[in-house]
Structures are given as structure tokens and as C-alpha cells.
Amino acid sequence: GIQVEQSPPDLILQEGANSTLRCNFSDSVNNLQWFHQNPWGQLINLFYIPSGTKQNGRLSATTVATERYSLLYISSSQTTDSGVYFCAVVGNQFYFGTGTSLTVIP
């Protein structure tokens, strides 16, 4: 199967700081999504981004499919951004990355 590695595994930010999360994948993919899992376990879709760049408010994402990576940018972080961020890719099935646990402190 496709290996999906995320970095960093853990991240602590002061409120207002910016951050970049990275997702590397081992093979060509048909789709890539970024999710935020809140403390209650709900997976919230952030971006559907097989290639290119998208922005939604303080979040943006870029996928360079030819180089097999994607980046998630969080600007002006807020405490509500805390949680685990997963990227997931579609090969012959949906493969989740290892996750980045983000804690934003006031």
C-alpha cells in the first residue's frame, strides 16, 4: 500500500503563530484530503486537493503531486485549531497519514 508520512508528529504553538504541516506519500495518488479531527473524534474535511493550491480563511493547502507531497498552512493560529490533522490519499483505497497533533496555547 501507499505510505503516508506526516511531520511534525507533534506541534505546540502560541496563539497567533503560523505553522506548516507536511504530508509525504510514497506513490502516485488520485486524490488527497486534509482533515482536522477535533477532541471529540469528528473528522472535518478541510481540503480536497489532489493538486495545486487552495485557501479557506486562515488555512491553505498546496499539493505537488509530481513530487508526492502536500503542505497545510495555518496562519494566526487559534486555540480552536487544536486537534489532530490528518492527510489522506486515494490509491486503490483511502490511506491515512500518521497525523500531526497540534496544541495551540493562549
Partner 1 sequence: GAVVSQHPSRVICKSGTSVKIECRSLDFQATTMFWYRQFPKKSLMLMATSNEGSKATYEQGVEKDKFLINHASLTLSTLTVTSAHPEDSSFYICSLDRGYGYTFGSGTRLTVV
Task: Give the residues lining the site for partner 1 (CB under 8 A).
Answer: 31, 33, 35, 40-43, 45, 48, 86, 88, 93-94, 96-99, 101
**Residue 26 CB, nearest approach to partner 1 (Å):** 15
Among 53, 50, 99, 55, CA closest to 74: 55
**Residue 84 CB, nearest approach to partner 1 (Å):** 8
Residues in the chain: 106
Among 30, 9, 10, 11, CA closest to 89: 30
**Residue 86 CB, nearest approach to partner 1 (Å):** 7
